[in-house]
A and B are shown apart, each in its own frame.
Chain A
Amino acid sequence: MSVLQTWLVQALFIFLITGSIGVLLDPCGRINPESPVVQLGSNFTAVCVLKERCMDYFHVNANFIVWKMGHFTIPKEQYTIINRTAASVTLTDVTSLNIQLTCNILTFGQIEQNVYGITLISGLPPEKPKNLNCIVNEGKKMMCYWDPGRETYLETNFTLKSEWATEKFADCKTKRDTPTSCTVDYSPVYFVNMEVWVEAANALGKVTSDHINFDPVDKVKPNTPRNLSVSNSEELSSILKLTWINSNIKNVIRLKYDIQYRTKGASTWSQIPPEDTASTRSSFTVQDLKPFTEYVFRIRCMKEDGKGFWSDWSEEASGITYEDRPSNTPSFWYKIDPSHSHGHRSVQLMWKTLPPFEANGKILGYEVTLTRWKSRLQNYTVNDTKLTVNLTNDRYIVTLTARNAVGRSDASVLTIPACDFQGYLAESKCYLITVTPVYADGPGSPVSIKAYLKQAPPSKGPTVRTKKVGKNEAVLEWDQLPVDVQNGFIRNYTIFYRTNIGNETAVNVDSSHTEYTLSSLTSDTLYMVRMAAYTDEGGKDGPEFTFTTPKFAQGEIEAIVVPVCLAFLLTTLLGVLFCFNKRDLIKKHIWPNVPDPSKSHIAQWSPHTPPRHNFNPKDQMYSDGNFTDVSVVEIEANDKKSFPEDLKSLELFKKEKVSTEGHSSGIGGSSCMSSSRPSISSSDENESAQNTSSTVQYSTVVHSGYRHQVPSVQVFSRSESTQPLLDSEERPEDLQLVDNVDGGDGILPRQQYFKQNCSQQETSPDISHFERSNQVSSVNEEDFVRLKQQISGIPQSCGSGQMKMFQEVSAADAFGPDTEGQGERFKTAGMEAVLDEGMPKSYLPQTVRQGGYMPQ
């Protein structure tokens, strides 16, 4: 019980304490919002709401509210009194990152008392992360990194999300110290594409980067090739072989390499051409190295196709190329001891050690040979770089070679003059004076100069010759004068050239040249040229040289001849083509087919001659060119046929008809049969040709004569000729067909035919005359039917549709619409068509065909 009382007392105490503290801590008002985060540069409004208790206690209302930012009082203009208890303040363009905003009241009119305070945090929403990329360090987890964009001034969380097409992986959340990268906690699986993106979020927003989709194998950074070693070759002093061990990634992908090398001590690296190391390998031989030189190598690798990352560089490995024989001779000189005894002298020979790039190995020693004039050799092998020998006063030739493990250098030769040697310098002789400085550690670089004691003009002039001669120019060349004849320094050359009749021209040329081009020469001209060389003391002419410029420049003749030949060829070709195309015309005018009367005979002439049923158009076919200027006109007296009145221009035919009929009737009655058929002619070769094998029973043959000569006499004959005398011949079967047509329905084609030209022609009784004036052309049954079909399909009135049909049949282009005088135009047009085409595909044109009947 006592325990319970104790508990109750304690509880009461705590309650009272808490309550009093609560009252004490209870503010007079509050600010809304309490923990605002606003975007930098934006406006912010806070509302302070006073409690009634305080208002009563302090005798204040919202009008007494004073807003402060830190210690700075915000101007009243930014306040808004909402009601008696609430007032707001608006901060415009918030630029401070952290603002302490307090709501205060002026108690008793002047005492400022704090009511409530908030901290305003400002910042920026996250920018979209950019440049997201991932790297898979071989044997490690994949790490992705990105550019987070601008500073947000707020705590911003970045989450890396990744997934396969079939499953999602756990998010990778960045650590606070590395907000721009994240290493996933799963092992990368190669050859499966994955999609990765980053999500950035803070209090002001959330944004997602672009998604990237890749195969992790394309993001691999392989482990560095290890155990790089270098070995040389005794056979070749210019190569070193590198070997290394590839990382295990080579079991999964193919690799390429980057190998760099440098000589030891050098700072810059040279690179092996990438194309030489573009495939998986574990060794490589580097070539073109200097002998006996230490090289340092390093290597790195990456996926063969260049996707991914280069590995780190391997540790450097060095190796020395094998020795080669010394590539140069040692610098070599001598010193004669002045205190020589009689007849002998002490000579010290000295030389420099070869630099490593010339020694090409370790110099094992030097070999010195001394040769006195016409004496035997004395050989010395020396390890040092000097040798002292006792020599006579004679002249000696000394040679020196350096030797290494591979071989000897070339010999360096030095002449030790005889003791009594005195220099004698001749004039006009070129001397090479060489001065070699001798330092404490050996000789320096010698300097040489050419000099003359005294110069003289050359003893011989240069010999000039032509190198190339053109139409207007010539290239001259010459050799430098030998030193022996120069007698001085050649300062310049002068070239003199002239024609036979012209003045001589001189051209100065610098002594360094050995060639000069003379320009502006005249073509086809003989030139004489000579050359002089000058020293400081004068000149000397060389021999004269002549050359002739050609008349034509190179290629000029070809440029003329070739086009002419081509033009001639073209003309000939065109001529041949023209003759080929116009062979019929030519044949007609030059060697026309003249019927051979000897092959003609009078066929048995009887109306009862059995018709020949030869409907094979192939048998009747003949070439139109075989049959020239022969026209057959069949005239019939069939007054039943209508005649187109508007074809009055064909009245001529009518007049001719009288005489023709007279002749025909005088020969045989079958002419009536022959002439009674509708005269449907066609220039179709098949149709014309079919008559050649038919026998003419009765016809009127009119020769137009040779070359348009009008025959004076018309010949009527009854012929069995199989010669192509006639343009068309009748056949009994055709006649029968025609008769049928003529007597009944067969008239329709003709009538329709004229309807096609003009409907008025139907009433003309002279249509038969017109038709008779057409060249007789027999058609086989098939052709006839075809024609009939074509014609019967034509409407009765003139129009464009009719024109179209005509185009199928004949030269209907010439046919105009139904107008008076159409016949005139028609005939003219038909004539033109004939002239143009020779054998028009028309009924009508044959009536006005060249060499036809009408001109008579």
Chain B
Amino acid sequence: MKVLAAGVVPLLLVLHWKHGAGSPLPITPGNGTCATRHPCHSNLMNQIRNQLAQLNGSANALFILYYTAQGEPFPNNLDKLCGPNVTDFPPFHANGTEKAKLVELYRVIAYLGASLGNITRDQKLLNPSALSLHSKLNATADVLRGLLSNVLCRLCSKYHVAHVDVAYGPDTSGKDVFQKKKLGCQLLGKYKQVIAVVAQAF
């Protein structure tokens, strides 16, 4: 129970990103309804592609900024410390149907969004002066949030998918400083790798 609380509370905090506060984030759109506040735009897929390109274009810079900000030993031991060894990362199959890809993308973004929230929270504590990194993390989280909205809109409006089960990464709040940094670095390495594949798949 304690473990659950330790995992859920920060998760909820993470899910309530900045200006979404007060409104439920439709990670798991409920009750099988596909009601949106207003009709989804017809240009969704193009917007999704642009968002993925935007993320892909900034992923490497974010990765570099992150491990640079962590200081040694990270910059010189990237393979060991920042390898994309994220075992529970949601799978993505680039050769699936659009619907299948969108569902998988939804899971990937949800996972990344939550993890990025953890990283941002940790970095504000561990590297309070790394404002550039904080800014970049926030900007990436914003884009992910927008992407999630678009994917949900698309799933809802075209495929009438109102509910997608999602999974989140481990909570880092209880980890030590090094582990926090390492997990963040691994996650960003994985993010860089995955987003390139996803951007190519759409």
A252, B54: Cβ atoms closer than 8 Å: yes
| 8 A–B contacts from the bound complex (CB under 8 Å) | A165-B39, A166-B36, A167-B149, A191-B47, A192-B146, A193-B41, A195-B38, A211-B38
Contact (A191, B153) CB under 8 Å given A165-B39, A166-B37, A170-B19: no
* Among candidates A187, A192, A193, A211, residue contacting B139 with C-beta atoms closer than 8 Å: A187
Interface size class of A (residues with CB under 8 A): 20 to 34
**A215–B51 CA distance with the chains assembled, in angstroms:** 12
* Among candidates A167, A193, A195, residue contacting B26 with C-beta atoms closer than 8 Å: A167
**A235–B51 CA distance with the chains assembled, in angstroms:** 45
Contact (A167, B47) CB under 8 Å given A186-B19, A191-B150, A195-B38: no
Closest to A170 in B: B19
* Among candidates A165, A168, A189, residue contacting B145 with C-beta atoms closer than 8 Å: A189
A191, B51: Cβ atoms closer than 8 Å: yes
How far does the Cβ of A808 sit from chain B's closest Cβ, in whole Å? 59
How far does the Cβ of B177 sit from chain A's closest Cβ, in whole Å? 29
A185 interface hit (Cβ, 8 Å): yes
B20 interface hit (Cβ, 8 Å): yes
B41, A189: Cβ atoms closer than 8 Å: no
B57, A251: Cβ atoms closer than 8 Å: yes
Closest to A167 in B: B23
**A193–B43 CA distance with the chains assembled, in angstroms:** 9
Please report whether the interface of chain B is mostly helix, strand, loop or mixed according to DSSP. Answer: helix
A-B contacts besides A217-B50, A251-B57, 7 pairs, CB < 8 Å: A165-B153, A166-B26, A170-B19, A186-B18, A190-B143, A211-B38, A251-B54
Chain A residues whose C-beta falls within 8 Å of the C-beta of B146 in the assembled complex: 164, 189-192
**A190–B36 CA distance with the chains assembled, in angstroms:** 19
Measured CB to CB, the residues of A under 8 A from B are 163-170, 185-187, 189-193, 195, 211, 213, 215, 217, 251-252
8 smallest A-B Cβ distances: which pairs?
Answer: A186-B19, A189-B146, A192-B146, A193-B41, A191-B47, A165-B36, A166-B149, A191-B50
Chain B residues whose C-beta falls within 8 Å of the C-beta of A213 in the assembled complex: 38, 41
Chain B residues whose C-beta falls within 8 Å of the C-beta of A168 in the assembled complex: 23, 37
**A191–B22 CA distance with the chains assembled, in angstroms:** 23
Contact (A189, B37) CB under 8 Å given A166-B152, A167-B25, A215-B47: no
B58 interface hit (Cβ, 8 Å): yes
B23, A165: Cβ atoms closer than 8 Å: no
**A791–B170 CA distance with the chains assembled, in angstroms:** 94
**A186–B142 CA distance with the chains assembled, in angstroms:** 10
A189, B57: Cβ atoms closer than 8 Å: no
**A167–B147 CA distance with the chains assembled, in angstroms:** 13
Please report whether the interface of chain A is mostly helix, strand, loop or mixed according to DSSP. Answer: loop
B149, A190: Cβ atoms closer than 8 Å: no
B22, A192: Cβ atoms closer than 8 Å: no
How far does the Cβ of A197 sit from chain B's closest Cβ, in whole Å? 10
A192, B23: Cβ atoms closer than 8 Å: no
**A192–B41 CA distance with the chains assembled, in angstroms:** 9
* Among candidates A192, A195, A251, residue contacting B149 with C-beta atoms closer than 8 Å: A192
With most chain B CB atoms within 10 A of its CB, the pick from A167, A170, A211 is: A167
B126 interface hit (Cβ, 8 Å): no
**A215–B152 CA distance with the chains assembled, in angstroms:** 17
B40 interface hit (Cβ, 8 Å): yes
B20, A191: Cβ atoms closer than 8 Å: no
**A189–B150 CA distance with the chains assembled, in angstroms:** 11
How far does the Cβ of B134 sit from chain A's closest Cβ, in whole Å? 13
Chain A residues whose C-beta falls within 8 Å of the C-beta of B36 in the assembled complex: 165-166
B29-66 interface bits toward A, Cβ cutoff 8 Å, 1 = contact, 0 = none: 00000001111110100011011001001100000000
How far does the Cβ of A472 sit from chain B's closest Cβ, in whole Å? 69
**A213–B149 CA distance with the chains assembled, in angstroms:** 15
**A71–B111 CA distance with the chains assembled, in angstroms:** 74
**A211–B37 CA distance with the chains assembled, in angstroms:** 13
With most chain A CB atoms within 10 A of its CB, the pick from B23, B40, B146, B147 is: B146
Closest to B36 in A: A165
A190, B54: Cβ atoms closer than 8 Å: yes
* Among candidates B20, B21, B47, B58, residue contacting A192 with C-beta atoms closer than 8 Å: B47
* Among candidates B20, B48, B50, residue contacting A167 with C-beta atoms closer than 8 Å: B20
Chain B residues whose C-beta falls within 8 Å of the C-beta of A192 in the assembled complex: 47, 51, 146-147, 149-150
